[in-house]
Amino acid sequence: MWELTAREAIRDLVTRYNSNGDTGRISHVLELFADDAVMEVSGDHGSPRLYRGHDEIATIFTGARDRWAATNTTRQAPGYIRHSVTTHQIDLIDEDHASGRAYFQVVMSHGLDHWGRYFDDYEQRHGRWLFTRRRVTTEGRSPNSIT
């Protein structure tokens, strides 16, 4: 039974990450990470970059918001942004540790913007599953990409 409960809690964690991020609720996104979590972002914009702890991880989201606002003088945020996660594989290590990987696609008002994969480490702390490490790899962008 613990395995079913853990898998569902981890699926919910990943869903909340994207739902909160897509709607700009950065503080809610940060609540999904352990205090000592690490997030790595890599892709076609150069070398991977590590962000440690809530303060640094927050800059991923505030930086994206600010970059978009600087290039768009008519709106402060994208008109529409939705992450879709598929093929979420969860490997349970024990009752408090798991890893996972999934594909993602980002759709914006102009259509498909970019896509890639998540590679995650999860840990249950104080009864809650949290990200302890998240690696985001962007594998491609549409010609119309604004990110």
| Domain-wise residue ranges, the chain | 2-141
β-pairing verdict for 46-52 and 81-94? unpaired
Side-by-side strand order, sheet with 111-125? 46-52, 33-43, 128-141, 111-125, 97-108, 81-94
Assigned CATH for 2-141: 3.10.450.50
Task: Give the dihedral sign, CA 17/56/48/123.
Answer: negative
pLDDT along the chain (147 residues), means of 10: 97 97 93 98 80 94 65 58 95 98 93 94 97 96 81
| Residue appearing with tokens 């909160």 | 20
pLDDT computed for residue 65 by the predictor: 60
CB atoms within 10 A of CB 44: 12
Q: What is the pTM of this model?
A: 0.87
Q: What is the pLDDT of residue 39?
A: 97
Q: What is the pLDDT of residue 104?
A: 97
* Cα–Cα distance for residue pair 33/14, rounded to 1 Å: 11
**Residue keyed to tokens 């498909």:** 112
pLDDT at residue number 144 = 79
What CA–CA distances, in Å, run from 133 to 4, 39, 101, 137?
22, 6, 12, 13
How far from 105 is each of 93, 118, 141, CA to CA, in Å? 27, 11, 10
